Amino acid sequence: MFHYSLVKLVRCYSNKLDKPLRDKILKLYKPLRFTPRFAHSSIDQKIWHHQKLSVIIEFEKSILTSQSIVMDHLLSAHSKCSVRNRFSSIFCYSADVTPDRLHELLSVLPSIKKVYLNRKIVALPKSNVYTKSSVSFKHLPQHVTGKGVTIAIVDTGVSKHDDLKGRICGFVDFISHRTQAYDDNGHGTHCAGIAAGNGRHSNGEYRGVAPEANIIAVKVLDHKGTGTIETIIQGIEWCITYNQNNPNQPIHVISISLGIHATKYQSELDDPIVKIVEEAWRAGITVVTAAGNSGPDPFTISSPGISEQIITVGALDSPFYRGHEEMNTASFSSRGPTIYGKPKPDLLAPGVDLVSLRVPGSSIDRSQKNHRVGKHYTRMSGTSMSTPYCAGVCALLLQSNKLLAPDTIKNLLIEGATTSHLASIGQINIENSLHLLKRKEV
Going by their DSSP bridges, the two strands 120-123 and 258-259 should be labelled as: antiparallel
Residues 19, 261 contacting (CB under 8 angstroms): no
Annotated catalytic, 252? no
Q: How many CB atoms sit inside 10 A of residue 296's CB?
A: 12
Measured CA to CA in angstroms, residue 325 lies from 256, 317, 422, 427 at distances of: 28, 12, 11, 11
From the candidates 363, 384, 386, 433, give the one annotated as an active-site residue: 384
State the catalytic residue, choosing from 18, 155, 222, 353: 155
Candidates 187, 190, 201, 371; catalytic one: 187
384 part of the active site: yes
Respond yes or no: is residue 176 known to be catalytic: no
- Whether the CA torsion 425, 430, 431, 434 is positive or negative: it is positive
User: Which residues are known catalytic residues?
Assistant: 155, 187, 384
